[in-house]
Structure 1
Amino acid sequence: MIFRKITLGMWRSNSAADKPSMEIDGDDDKNEKSNNESGTAVSADLVQAPLGLFPRPWPPTASASEGSQIYKTIEYFRLVGRVMAKALQDGRLLDLPLSMAFYKLLLGQELDLYDILLFDAELGKTLQELHALVCRKHYLESTGSDNHEAIADLHFHGTTIEDLCLDFTLPGYPDYILKPGDETVDINNLEEFISLVVDATVKTGIIRQMEAFRAGFNQVFDISSLQIFTPQELDYLLCGRRELWEPDTLVDHIKFDHGYTAKSPAIVNLLEIMGEFTPEQQRAFCQFVTGAPRLPPGGLAVLNPKLTIVRKHSSSAGNAMPNGTGPSAESADDDLPSVMTCANYLKLPPYSTKEVMYKKLLYAISEGQGSFDLS
């Protein structure tokens, strides 16, 4: 996750976390993590990009002298290129959810207006709607009649282009000047504005970063070797399966040991819970247990070492049953599951109910991300 930090200045972000905000005393802990819809924690200092990571644009005029922010960003991309190439060479997975548009760039494909939807749905949709107005203007002009009033009456969601108060800076990046001067955008220069935004977003504004990435990649092996793959196949090789498991096949690909069998009540509950997880919860569980948010190509069946579930004995003082044979379910309810990610090893207490197990699992998955403790 280190390459996803906002402070590196590498990626576009859909999160407000990388924008200046008011600080409130006592809210430091709250700002460190936020919860997504599935209840799993998301670190506030990481770039949030639901459609995948894509380079943030830097103005061509930004100085790349040694020590500058853009210089550091370029070097980070060079490093990411080397890391990605080495991961592909060694058959390892990376926790780096790149967008399909980024993979298209790796394959030497040029991006245009319609590719922006692949990493920024809001900007892409807005630009396409504005482009439709430009096309309508061209059509009216091509009819040969006097259509000045009709052209002036072209509106964007009921508002004239002038009233949108757009200027020639890159949306979301006010320091990126698209065109010198104080000119504002109207229906007559809207086409130029769209062209400059697209160029800055997928071409000029990211060219130095992509050149550094390719240079780093080529230090390991020739990036042209990737031409045989599609963007989807590259994502599969680098990050693993998006669909992690099917509920019906879980029991066939998991090992149960040290107090558990496939028919143990706790295991039955666990398999039901895993089968009910949302895709986001599946990724969080996989990250918690294996250290990566996706499984390798082939899924659980090829995970090495095999996912193993063992019984975790209660750490509470009163953990003996009346006959002294072992921990009670009630005492187990006080404990959290723990893992050994290097061995894909989950230590699961024998919780009294499925509901308790579900709550404890979600809490451990959410709060245990990135921690390293003895268990």
Structure 2
Amino acid sequence: PNSSATSSLQLSMYTFLGKLMGVAIRGHHCLNLDLPSLLWNPLVHQTVTLKDLEAIDALCAQTLDKVANLEGEGVTEATFRDLIPYTFTTTSSDGRVVELLPDGEHRPVEWHTRHLFVSLTKQYRLNEFQQQIRAIRRGLQLVVPVRFLHFFTGSQVERLVCGTSTIDIDTLKAHTRYVGYSATDQVIRWFWEVMEGFPQRERQLFLRFAWGRSRLPLRSAGQWEQEMEIQRPYHHDRRPPRFHPGPPGAAAAAGVPHVDEGDVGDAGGPSSSAAGGGGGVAPRREDTMLPSSHTCFFQVDLPAYSSAAILRQKLLYAITEGIAIDADHAAQDINWENVT
């Protein structure tokens, strides 16, 4: 949250966010939010600690811990002022200098006042977003009964609103169906092997590529409003779209692959692809294609690649580079804290 967002309009926006959270809980729809425990815990009146602050400002949390335990660092009253040249101020999450005491900017922290400095800084930083959190809670309680929230911790409410950030491949596989493929086809086995080998960051990128979100719903089957569909491109008529209107030479000059009718298998029978699993574009042509997705429908068009290495290369490129054309993804890069 932005602790400077205190106008009526800005707080009403936070209230609206709370309403969206309530709708997400009631409708089992995941919101793609990345918010710290410093927000989720106070939302349900759960105590916050320096560990919560460390998640958004590690330097501040570590500094407070050191100042509170200077004796263990070998600092004495005689050396304190030279080593700890602080005043009674702190820096807010949005970069503002905040005075912890009247005229705090001109009041140096002394050996005998160091614990007061730590206490006041913790009090401010751990409660910095109270106005915004109260506004979110107001909106949330308009949709979800207040007594309902008392049964959950902050992390549990986060999972209810956002789903789980850990992408479990077995769970994803259990909620996947196939069109033009079967679960036993070689290319599908390769796909899941590649997904198993991805770290969590790349699994989240894949989910964003395929579904426009980076978290899975909770494990309960009833909370998946859609299942993933993996389909083979052009498996119905086995005729790919024309890549270019001109002759092969013009396409090559433009760097666009050219497909002739002879490169596509007969419409009357399955391809002899080494990847297996029905007909489609000739294997050597499918190796030049990238996976594509339809995020509204949680669909992935997966060409029948001829090896696991090619599948991994093409999939990794699609989920890391192809996402740049996504307007929703681009919106995340906006400096929202300066938007009023």
TM-score scaled by length of structure 1? 0.67
Q: Tell me which moved more, 303-312 or 180-189.
A: 180-189
What is the letter of the counterpart of residue 288 of structure 1? F
> Residues 194 and 73 from structure 1, CA distance in 2 versus in 1: closer, same or farther, beyond 3 angstroms?
farther
1:225 to 144, 148, 158: 148
- Could you tell which deviates more after superposition, 340-349 or 318-327? 318-327
* Alignment partner, residue 195 of structure 1: 119
| 1:243 alignment partner AA | T
The reply to whether residue 237 of structure 1 matches residue 160 of structure 2 is yes
In the TM superposition, what is the alpha-carbon distance from 1:356 to its structure 2 partner? 2.4
**Distance (whole Å) between structure 2 residues aligned to residue 225 and residue 150 of structure 1:** 51
After superposition, the Cα gap between the structure-2 partners of 1:82 and 1:109, relative to the gap in structure 1 and judged at 3 Å, is same
- Supply the distance in 1 between the matched residues of 2:33 and 2:327 (Cα, whole angstroms): 21
Amino acid at match of 1:195: S
Q: What is the letter of the counterpart of residue 117 of structure 2?
A: F
Aligned equivalent of 2:281: 327
Secondary structure of 2:3's counterpart equals coil
| Residues in 1 aligned to 2:123 and 2:64: alpha-carbon distance in whole angstroms | 12
Structure 2 residue ranges without an equivalent (≥5): 235-239, 244-257, 267-279, 329-340
Select 1:151's aligned residue among 77, 81, 100.
77
Identity %: 25
Matched AA of 1:152: A
1:359 is matched with 313
Report the Cα offset of residue 83 of structure 1. 0.9
The aligned residue for residue 293 of structure 1 is 214
Distance 1:110 1:263 in 2: 50
2:13 aligned with 1:76: yes
Say yes or no: does 1:262 pair with 2:183. Answer: yes
Count of aligned positions: 291
Deviations 1:134-173 (A, max 9, x none): x779xx9xxxxxxxx9422359xxx7112xx556242662
User: How much does 1:74 deviate?
Assistant: 2.2
Instruction: Pick the aligned partner of 1:100 from 33, 37, 43.
Output: 37
Is the Cα–Cα contact under 8 Å of residues 333 and 352 in structure 1 kept in the other structure?
yes
Q: Is the 8 A contact 1:242 1:294 kept in 2?
A: yes
Q: Deviations over 1:201-257 (max 9, x none)?
A: 122x3222122112222222333421101223222211112332245x765542121
CA contact (8 A) 1:79 1:216 kept: yes
> Structure 1 residues 296 and 265, CA, compared in 2 at 3 Å: closer, same or farther?
same
Alpha-carbon deviations, 1:122-144, whole Å to 9, x = none?
A: 322221122112x779xx9xxxx
Trace 1:1-375 onto structure 2 (pairs within 5 A): 55-58=1-4, 64=6, 70-133=7-70, 150-153=76-79, 160-162=83-85, 168-170=89-91, 173-179=95-101, 180=103, 181-203=105-127, 205-246=128-169, 251-258=173-180, 260-298=181-219, 303-313=224-234, 314-315=240-241, 316=243, 317-318=258-259, 320-321=261-262, 324-325=265-266, 327-369=281-323, 371=326
User: C-alpha distance in 1, partners of 2:57/2:220?
Assistant: 29
Q: 1:261 to 1:96 in 2, by over 3 A?
A: same
Q: CA deviation at 1:118?
A: 4.3
How far apart, CA to CA, are the structure 1 residues paired with 2:185 and 2:261? 19
Give a deviation string over 1:329-355, Cα, whole Å, max 9, x none: 232233221222232211112223322
Gap change, CA 1:264 and 1:150, over 3 Å in 2? closer
The answer (yes or no) to whether the contact 1:95–1:239 under 8 Å persists in 2 is yes
Q: Which has the higher contact order (CA 8 A, sep 6+)?
A: 2
In the TM superposition, what is the alpha-carbon distance from 1:297 to its structure 2 partner? 1.2
Is the radius of gyration larger for structure 1 or structure 2?
2
Alpha-carbon shift at residue 319 of structure 1 (Å): 5.4
Paired residue type of 2:287: D
User: In terms of mean alpha carbon deviation, does 229-238 or 70-79 score higher?
Assistant: 70-79
> Secondary structure of 1:189's partner?
helix
CA distance in 2, matches of 1:114, 1:303: 33
Q: How far off is 1:96 after superposition?
A: 0.7
Q: Is the 8 A contact 1:100 1:231 kept in 2?
A: yes
Counterpart in 1 of 2:274?
A: none
